[in-house]
Structures are given as C-alpha cells and as structure tokens.
Amino acid sequence: NMREGIEGCDVVMMLRLQLERMDGVMAPSQREYFRFYGLDREKLACAAPGVRVMHPGPMNRGVEIDSDVADDLSVSLIQDQVEMGVAARMAVLASMAARLDNA
C-alpha cells in the first residue's frame, strides 16, 4: 500500500517505470499502475508536512507521477535534481578525460 509506505516520509523518491522492459510481463495497465503506485496529491498528503519529491527522470507523467506534483516547486526537487545531475556527470567526464590526458 503506497499510502502506508510514504506515511510520515520527509522525502519521496519516485523511479521510472521501464515500459520498454514490460513487454510480455503480467503488469497492470498504465492507468491501473498509476492508481496503485503513481504519486498524486492524495497519496502525497500521507507524507510528512513539508515533504519533498524527487525523481531521477525521465518521467512517465501520469504513470509514476502526476504532472501536478512533479511541477509544483513547493514540493518537487525534480528540476534541481536533473540540473545537478547534469553538472555531476560533466564533472565526472572532465575528471576521466584529465586522467586519460595524463596517462
């Protein structure tokens, strides 16, 4: 039960449903998946006051997270998470390139 799972949580981390890996697997429809596991305002209300929402992207809006939640900057850290993730990957690549240059 997702509502019980996020009860009192300060941060809710959503993950992408990998639809490309679901071919032939007994899985509910996307609509049914969202009803049980997708994060919407109603489920989010079970979390702690001031909860923050994260998602590494890419998002399947309306499948694992409602756009209303994902785009609400009062709860969503997703845009910051994506921007910082790009910077972190750039730093790792720069470090690796520097090591190759020195090899």
HEC readout, the chain:
CHHHHCCCCCEEECCCCCHHHCCCCCCCCHHHHHHHHCECHHHHCCCCCCCEEECCCCCCECCCECHHHHCCCCCECHHHHHHHHHHHHHHHHHHHHHHHHHC
The pTM score is 0.81
**For residue range 48-76, what is the model confidence (pLDDT) as tens digits?**
999 999 999 889 999 999 999 999 999 99
**Given this model, what pLDDT does residue 8 score?**
97
Low-confidence ranges of the chain (pLDDT < 70): 22-27
Distance separating alpha carbons of residues 33 and 63, to the nearest angstrom: 7
Please report the pLDDT score of residue 24 as a whole number.
61
Domain covering 2-78: architecture:
3-Layer(aba) Sandwich (3.40)
